[in-house]
Structure 1
Amino acid sequence: MKGSLAPFTGRQGRRDRAERADWGTLDRDLDRMSLLEAGAMHQARPLLGAGLALAFIVLAVLVAASLGGTGPGGIAIITAAALGAYMALNIGANDVANNMGPAVGAGALPMAGAIALAALFESAGALIAGHDVIETVSRGILRSGQVASTGSFPLAMIAALMGSALWVNLATWLRAPVSTTQAVIGGVLGAGAAAVGLGGVQWPTVGVIASGWVLSPLAGALAAAAILGLLRWRVLYVPDKIAAARRWVPVLLGLMAGSFTAYLLQKAPPWFLDVEIPRLTTGLAGLVVGLVAWAAAIPTIRRQSRGLENRRAALKPLFRLPLICAAALLSFAHGANDVANAVAPLAALVEMQRAGGLDATTVPLPFWVTLIGAAGISMGLILFGPRLIRLVGREITRLNPPRAFCIALAAAVIVLLASSLGLPVSTTHVTIGGVFGVGFYREGVTRLRARRAERAQGAAAKGDSGPRAFPAEERRRRRLVRRSHFLTIIAAWLITLPAAALLAALAFQVLRLLAPLG
């Protein structure tokens, strides 16, 4: 029996081995095809993003054509809507990285969650509270009547959008987080100067805005460093760190909730809240909401802190919720402040068409204009934002949840204050200033410890096991802020306004030669 089965078993075994060899070859071929397919999809991803961006611009053109492009100057409005949508996409790709970079760099949010949160609050900020800054940018920089008297106002606004958007697009491609506020104001200045000369610029307003650009990064750095110093003093370097965190983290959450409520009630547009509320009432409402948020956060933080060790590293989970709230608040503030960078020239053209001139004291802003800016910022963030989010969050200085919370909270407070005053500060300047402020503060503390260690070593006997001081060369190598990124970002800030102004002036001259838009 065994002898009769042996030939069959041998032939079956050879057949099985041959089939396995064939299947192995097929598997390897399928693996190669899968690898090629993945590579092709990776190469086609930028084309997909560009295609979706182009579809959004076309949609903005259709909206403008149906709602604002039917009367005199309709072609200019449609063109400005396309360029405004393009500028909004660039703002989302470049500027919003500053809002979510700290949260992603600290590990509090994954990239997808950060993008979804930012898109939601950016849109809410732009739609609810973006009208004041839009008015400043659209009417406060140029002497609109003087520009309009030459018949060049539509071309100037279109050239301003074109020059600023091209510059921000180039900066995004170079991975430089430039200020879109500087870009659009530089574009308006360049186009206006090309149209009527430097006399058409309202220099006092420009001077106030420019002083904000200088002071805002310093304010962001000082505020973030001060909040970090407070946390180190009251929470991170105390004997009972868990008890300190239970006491102070709810206070910080209450402060954020109260200040945001007061701001929202004070600056909401008529379509959102058609009632004028006295400042005392908004302050009391903010106080009540802050107290409620503080009381509600106490059991949450207490529950999260159970079982945690009494050391600094164990406190990171307790700062995750405050950091997410601060990042959301900063995104709202950014949407309220920076939507003007995309649609303020478009708003001015729409106002000119509706009012028959530029003599009105305010811009009667249609909802669809702000919607184009809000949707474009969110779309640009989703399609092109992750690269700069990684740069801001991970490549300038090392962040953890407490440090990232200090940056986001400081930036949100400063930008909300500027938005309430109608002042178009640069969210980029404030947030990057906060990142550098935290990094330089930690460098200063490290340097102070090193000096103390050197003094202790000098006073101690040889072979003492006291604190060890690193040599000067080693301390330079261990710097906590990367100087290359610092210098690159500062250089990008300095060149943004003149570059955008030059591009806008050139665009104006080209447009005037080709065909004035009526």
Structure 2
Amino acid sequence: MAVVGALYGLHYDIHAAQTGIAGTPDGERMARVYAHARKYPNEVEHTYSFVQVLTACTASFAHGANDIGNSVGPWAVIYGAWSTGKVVPAKAQVDIWMLAVLSLTISLGLMTYGYNIMKVMGNKITYHSPSRGSSMEMGAAITVLIFSQYALPVSTSMCITGATVGVGLCNGTLKAVNFQRVGLLVFSWIMTIPVAGTIGGVLMGILLNTPHFKS
């Protein structure tokens, strides 16, 4: 049962979640958003299906370039200081096994809890289709890669949300974007800074004040 629960996200139907909100306030709001979106012929969208595979791979590459770097940096410094007993230089070497571990865990995170984000980003902001999705992914990927080139950590979630809003506005009206949900996302991003800071500070305080024995 534990394995089935952990792999629940692999079998979660994102499209079914879209129809599942029908009749709810969210569903009615998104119905109005979809009504203002331009619809393109299925032949055109089918052509973009392959393009979206390529843009999704590019976005994944950009995600790894930035987000894994965010995680491996502190870990490499801490591990280097622990293993050598010395101050780690500014350009410390990062072992391949560290990158492999983080690549594995980021994939596990996607398989287990990724569906929660996918159903929001895919169903509750604007109308999606392969042509739109490929533009969103490539826009976010280019942005992340540019900032990564200049060693500036950024949020992939923020970038893809911005790209989603930009593509939605290409419909020619503000009504094609669910700005209530966008506002909620922006608020959650702002709150992550003090919340993460508080939790990190509390944990560090506990570690520093843990009872210990003098050698």
Normalising to structure 1: TM-score of the pair? Answer: 0.33
Q: Which of 34, 47, 61 is the aligned partner of 1:332? A: 61
Where does 1:42-57 land on structure 2 (aligned, <5 Å)? 44=1, 48-49=5-6
Deviation at 1:373, TM superposition (A): 0.9
Q: What's the counterpart of residue 32 of structure 2? A: none
Structure 1 residue 361: deviation in Å? 3.1
Among residues 97, 100, 111, which one is paired with 1:382 in the alignment? 111
Return the match for 2:77 from 307, 328, 348. 348
Matched AA of 2:90 = T
State the shift of 1:345 in Å. 2.1
Alpha-carbon shift at residue 497 of structure 1 (Å): 1.1
**Please, which of 204, 207, 212 is the counterpart of residue 511 of structure 1?**
207
Do the aligned residues in 1 keep the contact of 2:132 with 2:167 (CA within 8 Å)?
yes
Q: Deviations over 1:58-117 (max 9, x none)?
A: xxxxxxxxxxxxxxxxxxxxxxxxxxxxxxxxxxx9xxxxxxxxxx77xxxxxxxxxxxx
Letter of the 1:437 counterpart = G
CA distance in 1, matches of 2:61, 2:133: 17
Contact 1:333/1:415 (8 A) holds in 2: yes
Aligned to 2:185: 489
1:319 and 1:513, CA in 2 relative to 1: closer, same or farther beyond 3 A? same
Instruction: Quote the residue 1:321 is aligned against.
Output: 50
Number of the residue aligned with 2:198: 502
**2:97 paired with 1:368:** yes
Q: Encode CA deviations 1:257-283: one digit per residue, 9 max, x unaligned.
A: xxxxxxxxxxxxxxxxxxxxxxxxxxx
| Contact 1:351 1:365 survives alignment (8 Å) | no
Distance change >3 Å, CA 516–CA 490, structure 1 → 2: farther
| Superposed counterparts of 1:142-181, under 5 Å | none
Q: What is the deviation of 1:440?
A: 2.6
Aligned-residue RMSD, C-alpha: 2.7
Change in 2 beyond 3 A, CA 1:516/1:337: farther
Identity level (%): 26
Q: Which amino acid aligns with 2:136?
A: I
2:154 matched residue in structure 1: 425
- CA distance in structure 2 between the partners assigned to 1:332 and 1:315 by the alignment: 26
Q: Tell me the distance in 2 between the aligned counterparts of 1:435 and 1:504.
A: 31
Aligned match of 1:441? 170
Q: Distance in 2 between matches of 1:515 and 1:402?
A: 59
SS in structure 2 at match of 1:385: helix
- The equivalent residue for 1:221 is none
Hey, what does 1:10 align to over in structure 2? Answer: none
Larger Rg: 1
* Structure in which a larger fraction of residues adopt helix: 1
Question: Which sections of structure 1, spanning at least 5 residues, go unmatched?
Answer: 1-43, 53-92, 94-103, 106-231, 237-310, 448-478
Distance of aligned partners of 1:350 and 1:378 in 2 relative to their CA distance in 1, 3 Å threshold: same
Q: 1:398 to 1:420 in 2, by over 3 A?
A: same
Kindly indicate whether the alpha-carbon contact (under 8 Å) linking 1:330 and 1:411 is maintained by their aligned counterparts in 2.
yes
Q: How far 1:420 moved relative to its partner?
A: 2.2
1:428–1:348 distance in 2 versus 1, CA, 3 Å: same
Whole-Å separation in 1 of the counterparts to 2:131 and 2:206: 51
2:126 and 2:177 in contact (8 A); partners too: yes
* Partner Cα separation in structure 1 for residue 152 and residue 71 of structure 2: 15
| Partner in structure 2 of residue 68 of structure 1 | none
Quick one: which amino acid aligns to residue 135 of structure 2? C
Does the residue aligned with 1:327 lie in a helix, a strand or coil?
Answer: helix
Alpha-carbon distance between aligned partners in 2 of 1:396 and 1:46, rounded to the nearest angstrom: 32
